[in-house]
Structure 1
């Protein structure tokens, strides 16, 4: 398990054990990272993810506090970390299949999408900003890829990609929570793909989709590897 994930689970255990109670302020970052023998960068990423899950409340200039989340809800919110780790190899295989099939769908869509479809894709990209919450970004991501697959004109390919995409939702959520600038990167790459589709450049749309899927696949591989401490 990656060090950032270990930090998250350690803080979770401190809350569940009662060591940290609702409303309690966390020790300073330096003190907590030294106590848990983690790099400050790993600790910072863990706090950021727990803040996004509404488990911690970061008050600028004041400190970081535990919210009033009940232990049962905390367990539910955190369970997907271990589940995703257990399914790591299967998810990697799914991304590998997506990397093969989705570029072909993009190439087909470049010649078949209607102007109204392209406009809808642009509106979808424009509806998300760097400040959008991770659930909104993942919802956009799923719809974006589904629209391109449908635009390929091949119902079987679109159906297959839809079934594969649904298996990767947890990984997408976790990337959005833990990878710095993940939203900006996703929007930049989606925008470039739409530009290629609008130009009716099948080869470019295919290449950009390969790069996009491979980037997510690469993150997933790095996520599962232990981090070195600073």
Structure 2
């Protein structure tokens, strides 16, 4: 069933790779129990240590679930645990290029979400967005934690209006990264920590809100694109000042 391990990778890496490929190929379906530790040792002709480490890595990635006293099972992949895996990736990443690519991804996805929000919004959605704008205007300039929460809430509300689980999976981990991103931008007093920067953000949010109130999908998309481009520009400036 499996390919014998070779010298190209460590034993643990090879076992992990072969097991993952078997799951991907459908040999073990979600909820299925994989062979026992002893059986895997015989199949791969490797030690128990190699098998245990491979299973441990796969468990950390959410591919399998270890049930004490029962065995190892292929995870029932869901929106929730898939999102958790992405959360781990973003939380552990400190690479500037990864953060910039994340903003670029938002530039591709979020204008379409704003367009959908403009199309499907209801009166309650508009009220939530208006309340968010009021809270943002009243937020203390130096309270960056609260400002970040409100910024997040604005974008999450638009995502909620779009009502798409896959988009939620893709963007929730990115929104969870925003506090970390804000900390980087505001690391120096001159980097974004000014009234002008807040006013610019509020202006962008207001443009998005007005387009959504008017149910103008094209304008909502354009306003969101302008907003993300501004974020992209600010982050690039932050990197250059380091």
Say which is worse superposed, 158-167 or 201-210, in terms of deviation.
158-167
| Structure 1 residue runs without a partner (length 5+) | 1-82
| Equivalent residue, structure 1, for 2:151 | 141
Count of residues in correspondence between the two structures: 145
Does residue 121 of structure 1 match 2:129? yes
Is the alpha carbon distance of 1:136 and 1:207 closer, same or farther for their aligned partners in structure 2, counting shifts above 3 Å? same
Alignment deviations for residues 178-206 of structure 1 (CA, whole Å, 9 cap, x no partner): 31322221111111111000000000000
Structure 2 distance, partners of 1:89, 1:185, is 25
1:115-151 Cα offsets, whole Å, 9 max, x none, are 1111110111111236341111100011110110111
Normalization by structure 1: what TM-score? Answer: 0.58
Distance in 2 of aligned mates of 1:142 and 1:182: 16
Which one of 91, 95, 99 corresponds to residue 91 of structure 1?
99
* Larger radius of gyration between Structure 1 and Structure 2: 2
Aligned to 1:105: 113
Displacement of 1:86: 4.4
In the alignment, which residue of structure 2 is the partner of 1:185?
200
Provide the TM-score with structure 2 as the length reference. 0.55
* Unmatched segments (≥5 aa) in structure 2: 1-90
**Counterpart of 1:128 in 2: which secondary structure?**
helix
CA RMSD of aligned residues (A): 2.2
